[in-house]
Amino acid sequence: MFSFSTALLDILFPRRCLVCSVFLSHPLSFTTNNQPLEKYLCVSCRQLLQASESSSDAIRLVGVERVFSGYLYSGLFEKIIPAWKYHSRHEFFPLVKVLLDLALSRREISGPATDLVIAIPLSRSAFRKRGFNQAFFIASYCAAFFKQPLGRTLLIKSIDTPQQASLNRRARAFNLGLDTFQVPEPQKIAGRNILLCDDVLTTGATLSTAAGALKNAGAASVTALTLARVHQT
């Protein structure tokens, strides 16, 4: 939406591409367009993004009926996600919203309609250290998008495990045990078709372990949704 106050701000403080920092087109050379990404990414980064759009989700994960990932974890996402996640770069929040919106509008998620949205939780101490849970941000957005409730406390992680991102593929599989995630109120999970959200799918060990806990509590189905996924060869 064009407004004089945002145009003035853009003149005084020209926007830069969030990924590569080049200046974005000046608002006085404004041509009306409805491309929300143009506010955040330069032409080259938008082209990189297009190349990383994920069109198929032929990934199989134990305990998960469907997997939906918006993008491949390409060079562009290798910059966006760590900056957003570990350095709390708050300017990335609106960009992530736009990326999710584009991914969910481009492709439908097959199978039964979601009736409950849940995020992969962080342990209490990991949350304190990082300050926010990026999976919860994605889940909140999905709950609003699908107009379904968000189960804020329905899946919890009470024990600390080494961060999956710090481990290799083999160690990731053994890092998470059956007791990693807990479902404190199984009656609220029983019979539900759950959309389980995380930022990146790497081996899928986290999503499978969490889906197992939800299935043990009686979930009818679990669809895993991630912003990006590492390309499996």
Contacts with Zn ion by CB under 5 A lie at 17, 19-20, 42, 45
Q: Which is nearer to Zn ion, 15 or 157 (CB)?
A: 15
CB of residue 40 vs Zn ion: minimum separation in angstroms? Answer: 9
Cβ-based neighbour number of residue 61 at 10 Å: 18
Q: Which is nearer to Zn ion, 48 or 139 (CB)?
A: 48
Compute CA distances 3 → 11, 30, 91, 94, 95, whole Å: 12, 12, 20, 18, 19
Q: Which is nearer to Zn ion, 40 or 68 (CB)?
A: 40
What is the Cα–Cα distance from 43 to 45, expressed in whole angstroms?
Answer: 6
What letter does residue 108 receive in the DSSP assignment?
P
Q: Which is nearer to Zn ion, 20 or 159 (CB)?
A: 20
CB of residue 51 vs Zn ion: minimum separation in angstroms? Answer: 14
Pairing of strands 156-157, 181-182: antiparallel
CB of residue 91 vs Zn ion: minimum separation in angstroms? Answer: 14
CB of residue 52 vs Zn ion: minimum separation in angstroms? Answer: 14
* Cα angle: 220, vertex 142, 175; to 5 degrees: 65
- Specify which residues 71 forms β-bridges with: 53, 228
What is the Cα–Cα distance from 25 to 145, expressed in whole angstroms?
Answer: 30
CB of residue 22 vs Zn ion: minimum separation in angstroms? Answer: 5
Q: Which is nearer to Zn ion, 48 or 176 (CB)?
A: 48
Q: Which is nearer to Zn ion, 42 or 213 (CB)?
A: 42
CB of residue 76 vs Zn ion: minimum separation in angstroms? Answer: 9
Residue written as token pair 């920092």: 21
What is the Cα–Cα distance from 98 to 104, expressed in whole angstroms?
Answer: 10
